[in-house]
Amino acid sequence: MKYVRQFLIILLVTFLGEVCKYLIPLPVPASIYGLLLLLGALLAGVIKLDQVKEVSGFLIEIMPLMFIPAAVGLLESWGALSGIFAEVAVITAVSTVLVMGISGIVTQWIIRSERSKKK
């Protein structure tokens, strides 16, 4: 029952992200709104980390599985992508490197700030 409750909390935050996407006229994906709402709720103490920890860990573990439908969709639309494949490949490579680099920098910054708080 604990896992169902945790999953329902995550679904509620995801739904609120969808509502924000509908109400706020910005080109921001609903998942980003949901992540920001969850971060805000965690920082404000509205949601405790223990209330979502196990299920969120599970969702992160199965994340590669979630990319299979997107990959199949790309294969099905190969006709439309074949003319711009080089551009899409360059954009994908550059954005992947940027995300990895920024994620590493942010992670290092968080680790260093946590260490300095302990001292």
Distance CA 16, CA 38 (A): 10
Please give the pLDDT value at position 79.
Answer: 84
Top pLDDT among 61 and 78 is at: 61
Please give the pLDDT value at position 73.
Answer: 83
* Together in a domain, 20 and 45: yes
* Together in a domain, 89 and 114: yes
* Together in a domain, 5 and 33: yes
* Together in a domain, 5 and 56: yes
* Together in a domain, 57 and 100: no
Please give the pLDDT value at position 51.
Answer: 94
Residues 79-87: what's their mean pLDDT?
A: 85
Global confidence as pTM = 0.65
Top pLDDT among 48 and 73 is at: 48
Residue 73, in any domain of the structure: no
How high does pLDDT run on average in the chain?
92
In DSSP notation, 76-102 reads: HTHHHHGGGHHHHHHHHHHHHHHHHHH
Last residue of a domain, one of 66, 87, 102: 66
